[in-house]
Amino acid sequence: MKGHMILYRGSLKSCNYHCSYCPFSKHRISSHELTRDQEQWKDFVRILEKRAKALGIRALMVTPYGEALIHPWYIEGFAQISRMEEMDAVGAQTNLSFPVKEAVAAFKEKGGVTGKLRIWATFHPEMTEVSQFADGCRQLEEAGISFCAGAVGVPENLELLRKMRKALPEDTYLWINRMDGLGRSYTLEEKKAFEEIDPYFFRELLPVPGDSDKCGGRLLVEGNGRIHTCNISPVMEERWRESLNVIPKPMCSKRRCTCYLAYGGREELISQMLFGPYPLFRIPRRPKAVFLDIEGTLFPEENDREIMTKGKENDFGEKENQVDEGLKKGLEALYKDNTFLFFATTLPLETAIKRCREIWSLFQGGVFAGGAHLLWNGTKEKKECFYFLDGEFISVLRTIKRKYGFRILTYKYSEKIYKITLLRPLGRPWMEWEAKEVFDLLPPSSEKSLRYYVEGRCLQITAAKADKAEGVKLFCQWLGISPGEIFAAGNSGEDAEMMKLIM
């Protein structure tokens, strides 16, 4: 994540729409309440300006009870926030009833940076027509504003939502929320129909068990200064104030994260991959290519103790746990959308195939063996490249293998070695200093021609120029895209340079 994203919900509890199911549509707001909302918002923005940098906050979304963007102080505040160097994005959930052109003009007049504005527009079929809503979306698009559109998945509205899909610009994401009051499960046909409109609708139907370890750095701030970790978690003791030094640790014991504003803001690969660094805006990232590490990213990292207690084989290639269901469906959705999917792993190809059998068909190869082997196995294109090792130093390794307690595994193509693993028994990981000691014993020419890295009880050796980031860059050349158009994820030191490509 680039920085923290927080939500703001003022004391406003009123709306210019009057949908039958909504409690806020019934409340007639007094001028006193409006003044209070305005003052609270101004106070919030003032503190944000002072504290955003120290707190690492880089994005804000207003999630009102009612409609905020018909009130000019929100537009003015957005302009002010968008001018802050440390802020990447600011926006709101809205029914899109506000006059888009006038609001954009007012935003610009106050010096607002249009490129940072984000809109989450919700369609309310009881109050507006498809054509009117789609027209508002088109105006946002013409003004160069990033936005998403969406509606609740009411089965009776399916035809209307299909019409909406057709009426919206083709690249506009139309999300569908699960209908809470449905009182039954969706039928298979309904699920399929909604997934045709929203390829990520499956996320609304998967149960998400609460896990506040994934909610570090997020907040929802209320107008009166009370703060919560997310929109459904309890109030904390801390308050939004000028002397707030750090974002408080998550406080939540919810058993389920029941809506997008909750689960969509958790630190999870799927959210970052589908919706970018600030996924709560719900605007898809749409990368042209995705590069994913395997161990610790597609699969949770297992330590030696876990391997021993689960009785799993001690060779990496024999692990057989499954990819998380939501992640797998997310990858399938990207695949259907013609996104290139690649692995970026330190595993050699054969091991990666065994490890990722259930999702292998979605991928077109990748960067293997820590960048020593690149394979693009596309439907139309096939490219392959290796960085080989001059194996002379192996004789030295043979003389020291007993002293350091390792086995030598060599990975070859056409009899030429491209990777060597010095594998130790379970429970005996390599220390960095030991790895250096071994490397220092190799012939002097190795210093320039080889590189090594430690992965638990494996000391990996490849050619010096083989690394994941360079491999990903070469893939970008092959694909004719820039690194800025990709998404990559990994969790080890080996991934650090690759991850910088998407910053």
Question: β-strands 219-222, 89-94: how paired?
Answer: unpaired
276 binds ligand SF4 (CB under 6 A): no
Closer residue to ligand SF4 in complex, CB, 29/232? 232
58 binds ligand SF4 (CB under 6 A): no
State in angstroms the smallest separation of the CB of 90 from ligand SF4: 21
257 binds ligand SF4 (CB under 6 A): yes
Which of 203, 254, 419, 451 touches ligand SF4 (CB under 6 A)?
A: 254
- What counts of helices (H) and strands (E) characterise the chain? 17, 21
Closer residue to ligand SF4 in complex, CB, 134/215? 215
Residue list 170-229, contact with ligand SF4 (CB under 6 A): 210-212, 215, 229
Looking at residue 429, the DSSP 8-state letter turns out to be P
Instruction: Mark residues 425-444: x for contact with ligand SF4 by CB under 6 A, - for none.
Output: --------------------
State in angstroms the smallest separation of the CB of 60 from ligand SF4: 17
Which of 22, 232, 464, 481 touches ligand SF4 (CB under 6 A)?
A: 232
Residue list 290-349, contact with ligand SF4 (CB under 6 A): none
Closer residue to ligand SF4 in complex, CB, 150/210? 210
Place of tokens 């998403």: 148
Looking at residue 169, the DSSP 8-state letter turns out to be -
Which of 103, 148, 244, 262 touches ligand SF4 (CB under 6 A)?
A: 262
Do the beta carbons of residue 297 and residue 269 sit within 8 Å? yes
233 binds ligand SF4 (CB under 6 A): yes
Looking at residue 256, the DSSP 8-state letter turns out to be B
259 binds ligand SF4 (CB under 6 A): no
State in angstroms the smallest separation of the CB of 306 from ligand SF4: 24
Write down how long the chain is.
Answer: 503
Which of 136, 153, 217, 250 touches ligand SF4 (CB under 6 A)?
A: 250
Size of the site for ligand SF4 (CB under 6 A): 15
Q: How many CB atoms lie within 10 A of CB 28?
A: 6
Buried b (16+ CB within 10 A) or exposed e, 93-108: bbbbbbebeebbebbe
Contacts of 14 (CB under 8 A, 6+ apart): 24, 27, 28, 29, 33, 66, 67
Helix-strand-coil percent breakdown of the chain, rounded to 5?
40, 20, 40
Q: How many CB atoms lie within 10 A of CB 32?
A: 8
Closer residue to ligand SF4 in complex, CB, 250/471? 250
Looking at residue 215, the DSSP 8-state letter turns out to be G
* Calculated CA dihedral for residues 98, 13, 258, 284, nearest 10 degrees: 20
- Extract the tokens encoding 7: 């939500």
Stretch that binds ligand SF4, among 50-58, 174-182, 237-245, 257-265 (CB under 6 A): 257-265
Where along the sequence are the contacts to ligand SF4 (CB under 6 A)? 210-212, 215, 229-230, 232-233, 250, 252, 254, 257, 262-263, 266
